[in-house]
Structure 1
Amino acid sequence: MSGFRDQVFYDSSRDNGFFSPITATANFCEEDYAISYYIGEFISTLSNVAYIYFAIYPPKLSLQSKPYGKTSNSRMIWDVHTASLMSIGITSAIFHASLRSFPQFLDESSMYFLVAGFSFDLLTTSYRTIAGKPAITKHHRTLAATVILLAICTTSVITLVTGDLIIHTFVFATGILICGIKMSGLIRKHDKSTRSKLYWHLFTADMALNLGLGLWIIDCTPAYCAMLRNFRGQLIDTFPAPLGLLLGFVTELHGWWHFFTARAAAEFISLIRYLTTTVPDELDRKESKVNGTVNGKVNGKAT
């Protein structure tokens, strides 16, 4: 770690690791190959375990006897949300370890597929019926799936060709915003007690996401990065080696971005599973429920 504070933001002098040269268009404040010859960004790589953990153990909603993701025999639910969140953890770890452009593309694409899964489930959910049948038909679901798939594939190709992080950030943020608006609309259909609990979980997820985003912005800003690196160097110089290094790890803000976004995504997953499989008690069953179905689903399974 010698010369820690002498490094500059996005310094190329450390591009001498196992996966060099660096070809990714996104780089972060953590010094490249500072800890291991085989791992480009050490903490940013290891912190991806948060995505895998929360995919397996999603948070429990306060109105549930057990969290979605746990069945009667305590096994996780394997669905598109679980797979997408786990894929983010895997592809992001490969990207941060290698700092290569193709793993970066896989990382960004896995984020799109997570939002795509959210969008599909939410946009094809309605508690209404028309002429005694679910308002959302198989045709609607097919159309939604086609539009969403085309959108994420097009965006993935554009970001792969241009390497523009702004496009990726805008598309991902827009998808999350649309999902948040739809979730809020579905929550309003529930009774007051249930509604307040669901809104609290939505608020918790939003705060975790915004906190992670704030740390991500700080980490990506050259001026703040220089301050972080200087402070990190002081910690390492001041405290004994193991403690100083551990304290330095705490200041790697991109790792915290991984933790908070993983927590937020898992909260969204629990909310979406509840909202898309549970009919509000206040609605007239003749209008909101047909033979025990919600959008053609019985207990969350397609009919």
Structure 2
Amino acid sequence: MPTHGQFVTMEHWPHFPFIPYPPSKAGYWSPVTSTLNWCEEDYYATPYSAEVINSFTNLLFLWLGIKGVLNTRKHGHDSVFQVAFYGYLLVGLGSFLFHSTLKYPMQLVDELSMIYTTCLMCYASFSYMRPLGFRAFLAIFLAGLAVFITLYYHYLQDPVFHQNAYALLTTIVVIRSMYTMEVALRPKWRKSREEDRLAREKQGLPVPSKERQEFENTRDLKTLKTMWFMVAYGLSMFLGGFGIWNLDNHFCSTLRQWRQTIGLPWGILLEGHGWWHLMTGIGAYLYLVWGIWLRHVLNKEQDNYLLVWSHFWNFPEIVRTSSITKSNGSSKKNH
């Protein structure tokens, strides 16, 4: 039998050396006080992290959260999205601390920050261009809802309640944003040209020419096509991660046996909850970028901002067109 840390080769996998999994043991943060303990073995890699893969996959949240905050500041996006990216950062940090310690207070930081950030995006979606009274009512209602979920969840200590509340809030926000996107960009859902012309004339606004209207329709349909791809990609990542997470929950004993058989580092690929972190981190980031872009469309500023997304495996950003012009100008000067 191989000793701990010794590389060996399995008979049925002769070309793949591996390290046997060390046994689970008590760690620095023992005992476990959280109401959840995931499928990853506890403290097998280090005594200072209960679930090392589930912990460190949250670094994606921290990186993308910082990237989002810096982008929001640099390009002057609405401040609500800067706050949302700070919430995204808090989700990643809370999840890192929760999986590192498996302590109940850290579990609350992880799970409740997800609720609070979603409530914030719900406010951003439903309050836009609404009267002050409605915005105040919505803010009070969502704050009260967040307090209720916090207290009731602490009373129940039932993770299913949290998961259902989060899923419901997320579904509401995404569907509302889809509806807003379609109404704002799809030409057939907007007012007819004649109605729009009359409305602009009454308000003393300039009336676009036929050529300008055709340009805007073509531009908006192109934007809508890209947005729908972003939505489909983000939802696929989110739902795919959710599916893998559920497989992790239902077949945990089998997955643990497989991990013990194939050893390290290959067993890392079978950490389903870690994949959930990576995939939902990407999906949530895409949603926030989509929300920024949609807000600029609603503000009639889509000609002043541009989506920079060279490949679907990269992480997109919304940037001012003026910054791209300056960058190209300086590049030409350098050459």
In the TM superposition, what is the alpha-carbon distance from 1:149 to its structure 2 partner?
1.1
TM-score, normalization by structure 1: 0.75
> In the alignment, is residue 155 of structure 1 matched against residue 149 of structure 2?
yes
- In the alignment, structure 1 segments of 5+ residues that lack a partner are 3-12, 59-66, 126-133, 237-244, 282-298
TM-score by length of 2: 0.68
The one-letter code sitting in structure 2 at the alignment partner of 1:232 is: R
Q: Which stretches in structure 2 are left out of the alignment for 5+ residues?
A: 5-22, 186-219, 301-319, 321-335
Identity %: 23
Q: 2:280 aligns with which of 225, 250, 261?
A: 261
Instruction: Kindly report which structure 2 residues correspond to 1:119-130, keeping only aligned pairs within 5 A, or say none.
Output: 119-125=122-128
Residue of structure 1 in register with 2:221 after alignment: 192
- Cα offset for 1:14? 4.4
Q: Residue 18 of structure 1: CA displacement?
A: 1.0
Q: Which amino acid aligns with 1:234?
A: T
Which residue in 2 is equivalent to 1:100? 103
| Superimposed CA distance per residue, residues 53-94 of structure 1 (whole angstroms, 9 cap, x where no aligned partner) | 121235xxxxxxxx9547259xx9971111101001111111
Structure 2 residue 48 is the aligned partner of structure 1 residue 48: no
Residue 112, structure 1, aligned to residue 115, structure 2: yes
Instruction: Please name the residue that 1:36 is paired with.
Output: 46
Q: 2:240 aligns with which of 205, 211, 229?
A: 211
2:39 counterpart letter in structure 1: C
Query: Alpha-carbon deviation of 1:278?
Result: 2.2
* Contact 1:215-1:256 within 8 A present in 2 as well: yes
Q: Tell me the secondary structure at the aligned position of residue 40 of structure 2.
A: coil
Residues 208-287 of structure 1 aligned to structure 2 (within 5 Å): 208-221=237-250, 224-236=251-263, 245-279=264-298
Give, in whole Å, the separation in 1 of the partners of 2:257 and 2:170. Answer: 34
Q: Which whole-Å CA distance do the structure 1 matches of 2:73 and 2:60 have between them?
A: 18
C-alpha spacing 1:143/1:48, structure 2 compared with 1 (3 Å):
same
Q: Which whole-Å CA distance do the structure 1 matches of 2:75 and 2:111 have between them?
A: 34
Distance in 2 (CA, whole Å) between partners of 1:88 and 1:176 is: 15
Tell me, in whole angstroms, the C-alpha distance in 2 between the residues paired with 1:206 and 1:29.
24
CA distance in 2, matches of 1:40, 1:199: 39
The one-letter amino acid paired with 1:268 is Y
Contact 1:122/1:276 (8 A) holds in 2: no
Contact 1:208–1:261 at 8 Å: present in 2 too? yes
Alignment correspondent of 2:333: none
Whole-Å Cα distance in 2 between the matches of residues 82 and 72 of structure 1?
14
- Aligned partner letter, 2:181: I
Choose the corresponding residue for 2:90, options 82, 87, 92: 87
Q: CA deviation at 1:231?
A: 1.2
| Corresponding position of 1:57 | 67
Over 3 Å counting, the alpha-carbon distance change for 1:280 and 1:186 in structure 2 is farther
Provide the residue aligned with 1:128 in structure 2.
none
- Greater relative CO (CA pairs within 8 A, separation 6+): 1
CA contact (8 A) 2:153 2:162 kept: yes
After TM superposition, which residue ranges in structure 1, 4 or more long, deviate above 3 angstroms? 67-70
* Equivalent pair of 1:205/1:265 in contact (CA under 8 Å): yes
- Residue identity opposite 2:102 in structure 1: L
What do residues 41-62 of structure 1 show as CA deviations (whole Å, max 9, x unaligned)?
110011110111121235xxxx
